[in-house]
A and B are shown apart, each in its own frame.
Chain A
Amino acid sequence: MINQRDLRPKDMGRSDDQLIKLDNLMPLLAPFDKPGMEPPLTDPKPAWKEKYCTSLDGYVGIDTLTRPKSKEDEDEFVRKFLSGLEKIFSDANNGVLQPLLLSFEYCAKCNTCSDACHIYTATGDNELYRPIYRSEVLRKILKKYFTTSGKLLGGFVGADIDVNWETIARLGELAYRCNLCRRCAQTCPLGLDNAILTKEIRKIFSQEMGIAPTPLHTKGTMLQIKTGSSTGLSKPAFLDTLEFLEEDTEEKFGIKLKFPVDKKGADILVLHNAGEFMAWPENPVAFAILFDAAGLNWTLSSEIMGYDSVNYGLWYDDTQAKKIAMMQMKVAKDFGVNRVVVAECGHAHKASMISSDRMASDRIPVESCFPLLWDMVKSKRLILDPSKNNFPVTLHDPCNVVRQMGIVEPQRSILKAIAPQFREMTPHGVDNYCCGGGSGFAIMNSANFPEFRTQVASRMKFNQILGAFKGTMENTSLPKYICAPCSNCKGAMRGILEHYDATEKFNLQYGGIVELMVNALVSMKKPFLEFLE
């Protein structure tokens, strides 16, 4: 093991059992600053060390990346990676070639990006997580094998890395220690983007080597392409779920709710992250209550690919992303709606409006739910009583929606109108920090990865939350609500609150924005938010 202060990019090929060990995390704010408030980090189990690549930092992000059985397997693994590395600069990768080459060529190594990274900061400035560390390893490998200057001049131009199974496997793992939040790219004086390089590493692993975390690939995009949803929810099960939710809503709130499904002539097709129906069903219920109250002509779809907005391909595999985006767009077109509205799911926002925007022509317009919801509040189509939400509320900005799409104000305008004790996190808006669940982390639960997510990747966000609620934390009779209007972000929040037992100890609650809106509806006879009962 190397002291992280001495770690250099060329050390990735060293034969150490584990390259570094995390031991100096950024301190948490009060009340979690006292000893014993945080469980210590654990070592990987011996069985994991034998089976997976724990030789980076002890964590396992890619559960399909298993150790080779023979020297031939090792060589084949390296050969495949190099073949994929060559392909990212070929016409097979036209869709990102220009941005990739720019970020690859021009890094001046000024190191301005490091302080912008929540993971680097959370680890106490650990060298392994410096944004340019990963990029530099990739550059060294490419120079060594594929550039004339690297072949002729070697170490002079930086082509000084040993490439073996360990180097490549560690690099694959390291690509899953970045949330692809692109906060570092905002600070780069040259406009370069380390997240592009990180994602290219993930793509080489998936598109060339067939290696990707099971929750993203086999139980993610593959399952979605096969069944229509990454949850595995089939059409009959989806319809049953809606029926159950209608009955449940009537029973709980006395509201006769009817989800419109496959309604002909509807203006809007609403796309939810199907995970909401399983984990947070109150969210699609709240959407239905609000859309009905505002008199919108909307529908859900029960068609395969029509009831799940997710597109995990965005995080690791362009070919999967394209397949899913095209199938989803086809559903909308076949349906004949005027527009698609994406509900509270950050990456689905980006997938359907940004990433797939230039995949095909003649698209049905897609819009975010936030401007629409704000319009309903602003135009007073909803009769709201903000005093019903008279408890501290803070807003988490999903990176995909805010930094990567520029949807910043509508959601905070809503909160300012319906939550008297709304307070911002520091920083917020386009300068926000990732929740730690971005780019698939929220659903990656194999081996010890959840520990990395909650204690490292989400650490900065947890401190932001604690900072926003400073002075109210000790009052346990007062609920404190983290509004995280994104399914993945909610997954990360759930992970944080459970890990630190923060709901039980400090009455820290989380949820989306529509739940708060419904809670404020004058017509609601009882609180919509369960923790208020």
Chain B
Amino acid sequence: MILSIIAYLSIVLFVGISVYKAYQFANMPFHGRMDLYPVPKEKGYEHGGSYYEEIAWWSKPHEVSHVREIIEMLKEIIFIKKLFENQRPFWWISYALHLGIYLLMAWTILLVIGAMFELNGIIVAANSSSIWGLLLFYVSLVTGYLGLAFGALGSGLLFLRRLFDNTLKKYTTPQEYFNLLLIFAALMTGILTWSRDLSFGFAREVTGNLVTFTPFAADGLLTLHVILVGIMLIYIPISKMSHYVGKYFTFHKVLWDNNPNLKGSDIEQQVIKASSFRPTTSWSAPHIKPPAAPEK
């Protein structure tokens, strides 16, 4: 029962805090432009160009391709493209961790679906008569094995690399080692737990019990695993590991946001709104005149 509560609570907090962070970033004050090229949505993306390459650019339609923007975004999310292009040795281990996480997310969903199947009488096993049961069984095996292996390997190697690389260790704080160790520990307890259950039949049973708040006998290792995963899920969004939230804003709202302030545009409305704001704090250098008193 307690493990069920931990499981639900950690997932709710993971999603809740992540969404709250995104909400906070989305509601930050309107900022100045900081475009950095190449910008994927631009017509001249291949050479890094922009609408400023046209004469009288303001009188022509701003041709953008949101499809290309989404493709570039997916390349970054799925493959960590920039790291692949600019620092290949680091990419191998960082990608192992990230790919491991993606696979484990998929595995978790598959376990839930598998548990639902079993509760409804569809057997999920190698000898299942249902094609869906068979499919779910094998896909769960692949995602689970690879996810646990890649995730543990990636977090472990990232930890070791930070510990022994002369440059990285100068910049790594104890907290950052802790972050990697927490993920590693959560995954290692998973590997130890599920290595006794190579078909993931017990994992589906546990998942079913967790989902339905059904009490079940959990040994020390399983209890530790569920608690560690719970802590990890709650800790990730409050730490800087929540970069999955930040990354959307750094690209879409900073580096790729080049919409000009044209008459009648949304940007113009935001500019007008922002210019009526009177800050409550002011700078102190002698050449800066104090701003007008804050509006009541």
Please report A residues at the B interface, Cβ cutoff 8 Å: 5, 7-9, 80, 83-84, 87, 90-92, 94-99, 101-103, 105-112, 115-116, 127, 130, 132, 136, 153, 155-158, 182, 185-193, 196, 206-210, 217, 222, 319-320, 339, 353-355, 357-363, 365, 367-368, 370-372, 375, 402-410, 429-431
Contact = CB atoms under 8 A, between A and B. Distances in A.
B11 interface: no
Interface in B1-44: 25, 28-39, 42, 44
Contact of B280 (A91, A207, A360): A91
A355 to B, nearest CB: 6
Contacts of A404: 35-37
Interface stretch (B136-144, B164-172, B204-212): B164-172
Nearest to A160: B173
Given A92-B282, A99-B254, A430 B48 contact: yes
Given A186-B36, A406-B42, A116 B86 contact: yes
Nearest to A218: B287
Given A157-B173, A186-B36, A408-B44, A94 B247 contact: no
A206 B166 contact: no
Contacts of B166: 5
B49 A409 contact: yes
Given A95-B32, A96-B31, A87 B281 contact: yes
Contact of A92 (B44, B57, B279): B279
Nearest to B176: A109
B261 interface: yes
Q: Output the residue of B50, B53, B172 with the most chain A CB within 10 A.
A: B53
Top 7 A-B pairs ranked by shortest CB distance?
A406-B50, A191-B250, A430-B48, A158-B173, A94-B29, A210-B285, A92-B281
A7 B250 CA distance: 30
Interface string B251-283: 101110010110100011011101101011111
A87 B283 contact: yes
B82 A188 contact: yes
B284 interface: yes
Contacts of A9: 170-171
A403 B44 contact: no
Interface of B: 25, 28-39, 42, 44, 47-58, 76, 80, 82-83, 85-87, 90, 94, 166-168, 170-176, 178, 240, 243, 246-247, 249-251, 253-255, 258, 260-261, 263, 267-268, 270-272, 274-275, 277, 279-288
A353 B50 CA distance: 13
Given A112-B87, A193-B254, A361-B261, 8 more contacts: A97-B29, A105-B240, A105-B246, A106-B243, A106-B247, A109-B168, A158-B175, A319-B283
B243 A190 contact: yes
A105 B279 CA distance: 23
Given A94-B31, A112-B86, A406-B35, A371 B47 contact: no
B47 A361 contact: no
B90 A110 contact: yes
Contacts of B253: 98
A2 to B, nearest CB: 12
A209 B285 contact: yes
B20 to A, nearest CB: 15
Contacts of A410: 53
A343 B238 CA distance: 48
Q: Output the residue of B35, B90, B173, B277 with the most chain A CB within 10 A.
A: B173
Q: Output the residue of A80, A110, A209, A363 with the most chain B CB within 10 A.
A: A110
A98 B263 contact: no
Contact of B33 (A8, A182, A355): A355
Contact of A358 (B25, B32, B250): B32
Contacts of B90: 110-112
10 contacts: A90-B281, A91-B280, A98-B254, A106-B240, A106-B250, A206-B285, A403-B37, A408-B49, A409-B53, A431-B48
B250 A102 contact: yes
Nearest to B282: A92
Nearest to A96: B31
Given A158-B173, A371-B54, A406 B271 contact: no
B83 A407 contact: no
A367 B56 contact: yes
A339 B56 CA distance: 8
Contacts of B39: 406
A354 B55 CA distance: 16
Nearest to A349: B52
B48 to A, nearest CB: 3
B53 A371 contact: yes
B279 A196 contact: no
A91 to B, nearest CB: 4
Contacts of A155: 173-174
